[in-house]
């Protein structure tokens, strides 16, 4: 209410219809006032970059006519402003497939445009929203599929001619074109279907593109509209990659085979290769360094630049888009997210989009890129470690991992960081080796044990600053994995039990000694795969009826090409230059799936969608059985996807119908039917049911036969605990290929043994004796009575403009992440 009184001159902008649309229940009255005005009504006239999304072009306007049409919106809200000023406020105009523009607008102007005819959505291009989700992995995947290292699971790559003539677009930080991973030796001519360009710029010209790297463009207008001109000492104003992230992703998708590749120090030595080494790569650079931050601290990707890249990629003729970028789901509304909007336009044109799930795990409800038309990829480990043992003075060996070259074997005094800190270090920070906390006099010449460091990189550098000869760091996350870092100084990371052994040794010995032994690469370690601790988890907070992530793939300690303008650590102190670097994140797992999709596209160009139907259950980072909110349908097995037997096909219209169930319109030409099916009825290869009305619910699925003629599939079901799952019919008989059959799935509550407000998991499988088509089931039990369907998920769907809602005190939020109940105290930042 204070906002309204301060901005009374703007209240006339809010019509009574807005109040009618948002007034759900009286209890939300004050919240609704703020949300209905949202980010648009403000006392300030400060301009920001906003995206105005209008749907798609109908093809009957010239480029100038399109831009004039976009400028007409601006002219109508800027009053008597000259045409020159109007065009100055226009940041970019999308003219190929996506109809829309971005412009510098005040919140009031943005609000006015949002109510104009033909406008689907208006949203801020926020620099803090979308960021990157930062060899052996392909051999490991082949082992999971039962093939030997000799043939390395070549069936899918060979059948797909290694992706020849499939074009994969990579929207990221650019590319380092000189890398051997992007050579075009032996490749055929550029596909005639390609309609893209090789955009020249600083340190990049047309000669840097070839038959492998067939296109490259960069997008800077949104970035410069917010930050001003790019600092050319920080990045190249061209498609060239100064970060390394984009180069790594592109090489993981489609890098050529490069012998004797390794990380710094010779770790992970072997043949580096992408999953589809013959695909053609098209690079779209949209991410740039944040001013006054190191590359390790900040990279930003503006939504309007991303949407421009989508618009070009679709028009250029890519077949697959690999996007290792994303945002936390609290801001991910379908009508206000450039990746969701761009992907829907791509899928309409039979372009498959794979995206990273995010690196916000292991916290539940953190998975991003949750639109059902996107293949969302989690991250898991492979069977490789980089052993670097710690030898104590009493002869005990403690296991550790590193990719930092360590040559010395001499024993040195070993101390616990908490015992060698400067005066004033608090109990909350002791032992963590935070910057400036260690005493030079007490550390010089010693090995230092740091526990629970906030940043292993910073801890290692702090030990070095204080004169330590080596650092032993703790792995604070779990017992099954260590995310390696190419430290500048001798450093290894130990598991939790090893840390306790070392600390007990320090406490029990008068003159404790230790040394770090040289590291080596070990292959075939178990358990593997294991879900990476950082991999974002479900349930999907935007719509828990859509199970996310969809699948998991290797994303832990992955070796691939790197930018030689960067360094392994991406900090000023690191002046090393490497051709290949080790990285972890769902950014690394996503291109594994993108490569498999490219191979499948090459073999089955007639498949309209590539839906996961095979997966292998795995454990999570704590060693327990993982659940579908961590791995989706399981660990991907690309060779089995060549002949899955059955697929779940979904069309563009199916997705629009799904959006109708969410009261969302992203295509103004589509009219929702009077009776809209529930979201769970989307023909998805998994089944998630939240907010079930009554004691049972029935949904329908349709499968298409892509296996053999005259095939019969028999059902097997494992019901989620506390529920009965009945599927009718229990046998599917197909007489020919491409034949479709539907079946109904009824889920019925049986008991109250399931914890309330949690999910229970099961699966169902169709098998003909050769193919096994397995789908996970996730069922939520609600604590509170269900309200009208249109009033569910109030804070997420009914108030899409809410961007800065903080939950001050909500004990139920973790268990009911999709609702804002009366027990929550709410605050608007």
Q: Which residues are catalytic?
A: 172, 245, 587
Cα dihedral 8, 11, 16, 19 sign: negative
Count Cα neighbours of 305 within 13 Å in the Cβ-side half-sphere.
27
Tell me the C-alpha distance between 298 and 223, whole Å: 13
Tell me the C-alpha distance between 376 and 368, whole Å: 8
Count Cα neighbours of 366 within 13 Å in the Cβ-side half-sphere.
16
Tell me the C-alpha distance between 81 and 87, whole Å: 10
Tell me the C-alpha distance between 213 and 190, whole Å: 9
Q: Beta partners for 776?
A: 763
Residues 580, 583, 586, 588: what is their CA dihedral angle, to the nearest 10 degrees?
10
Reported for 430-434, long-range contacts at CB under 8 A and 24+ positions apart, including other chains, are 432/459, 433/458, 433/459, 433/460, 433/462, 433/463, 433/471, 433/473, 434/458, 434/459, 434/462
3-state secondary structure of 165: coil
Max Cα distance, the chain (Å)? 84
Quote the strand ranges of 324-481, DSSP E. 325-326, 352-356, 375-380, 384-387, 390-392, 397-398, 400-401, 412-416, 447-450, 470-474
Residues 6+ apart with CB under 8 A from 606: none
Residue from 438, 447, 399 nearest 420 by CA: 438
Tell me the C-alpha distance between 348 and 369, whole Å: 17
Tell me the C-alpha distance between 364 and 498, whole Å: 28
3-state secondary structure of 341: helix
CA distances to 139, 154, 310, 387 from 384, rounded to whole Å, are: 11, 21, 36, 9
DSSP β-ladder status, 551-554 and 470-474? unpaired
3-state secondary structure of 661: helix
The length of the chain, given as a count of residues: 829
3-state secondary structure 483-529: CCCCCCCCEEEECHHHHHHHHHHHHHCCCCEEEECCCEEEECCCCCC
Task: Let me know: does 749 contact 775? Beta carbons within 8 Å.
Answer: no
Task: Let me know: does 474 contact 453? Beta carbons within 8 Å.
Answer: yes
The H-or-E segment that residue 140 falls in is helix 136-144
3-state secondary structure of 601: helix
Task: Let me know: does 484 contact 385? Beta carbons within 8 Å.
Answer: no
Backbone angles phi, psi at 725, to 5 degrees: -115, 120
Tell me the C-alpha distance between 304 and 104, whole Å: 11
Residues 6+ apart with CB under 8 A from 383: 140, 143, 523, 524, 525, 526, 528, 529
3-state secondary structure of 24: coil
Tell me the C-alpha distance between 615 and 631, whole Å: 9
3-state secondary structure of 92: strand
Q: What is the CA 729 to chain-centroid distance, rounded?
A: 37
| Cβ neighbours of 162 (radius 10 Å) | 25
Task: Let me know: does 789 contact 758? Beta carbons within 8 Å.
Answer: no
Please measure the distance between the N-terminal and C-terminal CA atoms of the chain and give it in whole angstroms. 14
Residues 6+ apart with CB under 8 A from 17: none
The H-or-E segment that residue 774 falls in is strand 772-780
């Amino acid at each position: 209410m204070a906002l309204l009184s301060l901005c009374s001159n703007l209240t006339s902008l809010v019509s009574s219809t807005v109040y009618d649309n948002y007034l759900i229940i009286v209890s939300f009255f004050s919240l609704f006032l703020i949300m209905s005005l949202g980010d648009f009504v403000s006392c300030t006239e400060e301009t920001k970059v906003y995206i105005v999304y209008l749907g798609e072009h109908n093809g009957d306007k010239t480029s100038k006519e399109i831009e004039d049409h976009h400028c007409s919106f601006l002219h109508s809200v800027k009053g008597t402003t000259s045409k020159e000023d109007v065009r100055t406020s226009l940041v970019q105009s999308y003219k190929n497939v996506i109809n829309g523009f971005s412009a510098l607008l005040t919140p009031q102007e943005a609000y006015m445009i949002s109510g104009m005819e033909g406008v689907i959505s208006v949203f801020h291009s926020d620099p803090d929203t979308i960021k990157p989700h930062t060899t052996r992995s392909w051999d490991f995947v082949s082992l999971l599929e039962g093939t030997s290292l000799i043939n390395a699971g070549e069936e899918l790559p060979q059948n797909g001619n290694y992706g020849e003539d499939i074009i994969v677009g990579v929207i990221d930080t650019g590319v380092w074109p000189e890398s051997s991973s992007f050579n075009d030796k032996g490749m055929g001519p550029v596909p005639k279907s390609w309609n893209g360009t090789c955009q020249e710029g600083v340190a990049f010209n047309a000669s840097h593109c070839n038959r492998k790297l067939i296109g490259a463009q960069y997008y800077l207008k949104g970035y410069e509209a917010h930050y001003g001109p790019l600092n050319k000492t920080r990045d190249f104003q061209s498609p060239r990659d100064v970060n390394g992230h984009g180069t790594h992703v592109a090489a993981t998708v489609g890098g050529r085979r490069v012998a004797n590749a390794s990380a710094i120090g010779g770790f992970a030595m072997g043949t580096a290769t992408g999953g589809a080494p013959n695909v053609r790569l098209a690079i779209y650079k949209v991410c740039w360094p944040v001013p006054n931050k190191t590359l390790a601290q900040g990279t930003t990707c503006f939504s309007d630049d991303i949407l421009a890249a989508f618009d070009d990629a679709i028009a250029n003729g890519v077949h697959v888009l690999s996007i290792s970028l994303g945002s936390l789901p609290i801001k991910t509304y379908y009508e206000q997210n450039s990746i969701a909007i761009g992907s829907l336009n791509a899928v309409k044109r039979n372009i498959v989009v794979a995206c990273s799930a995010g690196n916000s795990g292991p916290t539940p409800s953190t998975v991003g890129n949750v639109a059902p038309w996107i293949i969302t990829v989690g991250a898991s480990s492979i069977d490789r470690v980089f052993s670097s043992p710690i030898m104590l003075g009493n002869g005990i060996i403690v296991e550790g991992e590193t990719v930092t070259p360590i040559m010395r074997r001499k024993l040195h005094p070993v101390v616990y960081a908490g015992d060698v800190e400067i005066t004033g270090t608090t109990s909350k920070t002791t032992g963590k080796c935070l910057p400036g906390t260690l005493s030079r006099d007490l550390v010089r010449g010693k090995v230092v044990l740091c526990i629970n460091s906030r940043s292993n990189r910073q801890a290692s550098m702090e030990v070095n600053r204080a004169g330590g000869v080596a650092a032993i760091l703790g792995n604070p996350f779990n017992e099954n994995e260590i995310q390696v870092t190419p430290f500048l100084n001798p450093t290894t990371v130990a598991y939790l039990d090893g840390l306790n052994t070392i600390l007990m040794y320090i406490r029990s010995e008068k003159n404790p000694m230790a040394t770090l032994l040289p590291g080596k690469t070990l292959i075939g370690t178990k358990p593997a795969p294991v879900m990476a601790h950082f991999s974002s988890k479900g349930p999907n907070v935007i719509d828990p009826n859509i199970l996310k992530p969809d699948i998991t793939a290797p994303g832990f300690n992955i070796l691939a090409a790197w930018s030689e303008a960067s360094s392994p650590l991406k900090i000023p102190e690191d002046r090393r230059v490497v051709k290949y670097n080790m990285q972890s994140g769902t950014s690394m797992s996503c291109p594994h799936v993108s490569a498999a999709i490219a191979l499948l596209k090459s073999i089955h160009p007639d498949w309209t969608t590539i839906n996961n139907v095979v997966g292998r259950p795995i454990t999570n980072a704590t060693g327990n059985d993982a659940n579908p909110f961590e791995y989706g349908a399981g660990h991907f097995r690309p060779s089995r996807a060549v002949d899955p037997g059955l697929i779940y096909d979904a069309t563009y219209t199916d997705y629009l119908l799904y959006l109708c169930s969410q009261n969302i319109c992203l295509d103004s030409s589509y009219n929702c039917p009077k009776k809209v099916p529930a979201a769970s009825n989307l023909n998805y290869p998994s089944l998630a049911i939240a907010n079930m009305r009554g004691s049972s619910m029935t949904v329908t699925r349709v499968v298409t036969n892509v296996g053999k003629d005259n095939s019969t599939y028999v059902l097997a079901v494992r019901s989620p605990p506390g529920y009965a799952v009945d599927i009718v019919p229990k046998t599917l008989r197909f007489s020919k290929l491409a034949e479709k059959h539907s079946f109904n799935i009824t889920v019925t509550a049986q008991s109250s043994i399931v914890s309330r407000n949690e999910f229970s998991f099961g699966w169902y499988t169709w098998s003909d004796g050769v193919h096994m088509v397995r789908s996970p089931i996730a069922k939520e039990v609600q604590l509170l009575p269900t309200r009208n369907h249109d009033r569910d998920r109030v804070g997420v769907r009914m108030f899409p403009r809410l961007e800065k809602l903080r939950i001050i005190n909500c004990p139920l939020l973790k268990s009911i992440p999709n609702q804002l109940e009366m027990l929550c105290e709410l605050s608007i930042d």
